[in-house]
């Protein structure tokens, strides 16, 4: 299949792109490259790519694709809260418009990276896909609204699917340490302290970043009738943990580390457990390979192999909000998170024909690398 993957240069996108290529698909990326230089270890395979903001997509960008995999977003609660209007414009309005244009261009499938954060405050119940939405952040609200808006476009020619990912963990060439497991392992490795900012009671469903990739592949390969206009929780029902349990697992894996609770850390209202059985029952191809314990070991090994330092942990390269704030402070991004022209700007590669070579992509540099 020929696939357009938006946000292919991000944490999940970098891993997913490699999995899609391994499965024999043709991948074209589309990204504004907020995190282009934020690499951890060897980079993922280069693919032909469109250097563009998703707010500026046209039908011609989408012609000739069998499916759109839509990951690009301001992609966690802190980023989503930076500016609620921007979150609305990028995460919601541009995502629904992307789906509308994809349908207009004859693309038959649209896979959306939704999030379990749309369940929001849910206490200790284990939520299946029919649970009520209760988002409590602009980020969570944007995911609900995209699902509602894109679902209205579903018909016999256009099949959207909503993958409600649990919180990701694990190694990626665009590593993030602003997701809970990666954060706790990074802290333990670089400071010896597993610092929990809440009281540790909130529940979180967790999923390895590679298993998210496997879920997208399973949806892509599934017959239309089982994925048409469906939502799936992505993770494993057995992998819901309280933050305190995660901290204890990290302490056990990182020699010499200890768990500490930040003073005044109250209970985090974002607390939910999810039931992921629909995905496994509907799509037998989906075989998750990772547990949180294995992911902690993987991260610990990778931090050692890369000589990850305390400065690496804190300088913001692997923290999305800090990276965007740096680009804003340095005047590279304007307040709408659009790149400012800093001299001659490379042309977007334009409508992807699939004919651009990897070399072409490698020669296009983002404004912030100049």
Give contact residues for ligand NAD (rule: CB under 6 A). Answer: 7, 9-13, 31-35, 53-55, 71-75, 90, 113, 115, 165, 167-168, 174, 176, 179, 320
Q: Smallest distance from the beta carbon of 117 to ligand NAD, in angstroms?
A: 7
190-312-83-56 Cα dihedral, nearest 10 degrees: -140
**Whose Cβ is closer to ligand NAD: residue 162's or residue 303's?**
162
Q: What is the DSSP string of 271-334?
A: EEEE--HHHHHH-TT------HHHHHHHHHHHHHHHT--HHHHHSSTT-HHHHHHHHHHTTSB-
Q: Smallest distance from the beta carbon of 235 to ligand NAD, in angstroms?
A: 10
Name residues whose C-beta falls within 8 Å of residue 133's C-beta, 6 or more positions apart in sequence. 118, 119, 120, 144
**Whose Cβ is closer to ligand NAD: residue 49's or residue 188's?**
49
Measure the CA–CA gap between 332 and 340, rounded to whole angstroms: 5
Measure the CA–CA gap between 196 and 202, rounded to whole angstroms: 11
Name residues whose C-beta falls within 8 Å of residue 9's C-beta, 6 or more positions apart in sequence. 29, 31, 33, 35, 36, 49, 174
Measure the CA–CA gap between 355 and 135, rounded to whole angstroms: 41
Bin 307: left if φ > 0, else alpha if -120 < ψ < 50, else beta. Answer: left
Measure the CA–CA gap between 266 and 262, rounded to whole angstroms: 9
Give, as one character, the DSSP assignment of residue 75: -
**Whose Cβ is closer to ligand NAD: residue 32's or residue 183's?**
32
Radius of gyration (Cα) for the chain, nearest Å?
20
> What sign results for the dihedral spanned by CA atoms 273, 279, 284, 289?
negative
**Whose Cβ is closer to ligand NAD: residue 75's or residue 240's?**
75
**Whose Cβ is closer to ligand NAD: residue 7's or residue 135's?**
7
Directed axis angle between helix 180-191 and helix 292-306, to 10°? 50
Measure the CA–CA gap between 24 and 68, rounded to whole angstroms: 16
Q: Which two tokens stand for residue 60?
A: 């011609």
Residue 265, number of CB atoms within 10 A of its CB: 15
Residue nearest to ligand NAD (CB): 10
Q: Are 332 and 339 in contact (CB under 8 A)?
A: yes
């Amino acid at each position: 299949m020929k696939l357009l993957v938006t946000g292919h240069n991000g944490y999940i996108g970098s891993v997913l792109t490699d999995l899609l290529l391994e499965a024999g698909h043709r991948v074209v990326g589309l990204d504004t490259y907020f995190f282009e230089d934020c690499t951890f270890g060897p980079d993922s395979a280069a693919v032909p790519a469109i250097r563009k903001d998703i707010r500026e997509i046209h039908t011609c960008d989408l012609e000739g694709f069998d499916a759109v995999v839509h990951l690009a977003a301001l992609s966690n609660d802190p980023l989503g809260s930076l500016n609620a209007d921007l979150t609305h414009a990028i995460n919601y309005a541009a995502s629904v418009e992307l789906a509308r244009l994809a349908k207009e261009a004859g693309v038959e499938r649209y896979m959306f990276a939704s999030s379990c954060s749309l369940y929001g405050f849910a206490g200790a119940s284990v939520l299946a896909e029919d649970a009520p939405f209760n988002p409590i952040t602009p980020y969570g609200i944007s995911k609900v609204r995209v699902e509602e808006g894109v679902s209205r476009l579903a018909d016999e020619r256009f099949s959207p699917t909503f993958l409600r990912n649990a919180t990701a963990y694990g190694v990626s060439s665009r590593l993030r340490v602003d997701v809970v497991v990666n954060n706790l392992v990074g802290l333990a490795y670089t400071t010896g302290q597993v610092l929990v900012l809440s009281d540790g009671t909130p529940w979180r469903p967790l999923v390895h970043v590679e298993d998210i990739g496997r879920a997208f592949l399973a949806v892509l390969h599934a017959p239309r009738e089982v994925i048409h206009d469906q939502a799936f929780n992505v993770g494993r029902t057995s992998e819901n943990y309280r933050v305190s349990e995660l901290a204890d697992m990290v302490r056990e894996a990182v020699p010499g580390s200890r768990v500490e609770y930040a003073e005044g850390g109250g209970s985090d209202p974002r607390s939910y457990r999810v039931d992921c059985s629909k995905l496994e029952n509907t799509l037998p191809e989906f075989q998750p390979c990772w547990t949180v314990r294995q992911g902690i070991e993987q991260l610990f090994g990778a931090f050692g192999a890369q000589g990850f330092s305390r400065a690496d942990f804190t300088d913001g390269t692997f923290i999305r909000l800090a990276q965007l704030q740096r680009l804003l402070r340095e005047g590279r991004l304007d307040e709408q998170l659009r790149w400012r022209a800093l001299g001659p700007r490379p042309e977007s590669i334009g409508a992807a024909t699939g004919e651009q070579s990897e070399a072409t992509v490698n020669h296009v540099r983002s404004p912030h690398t100049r």
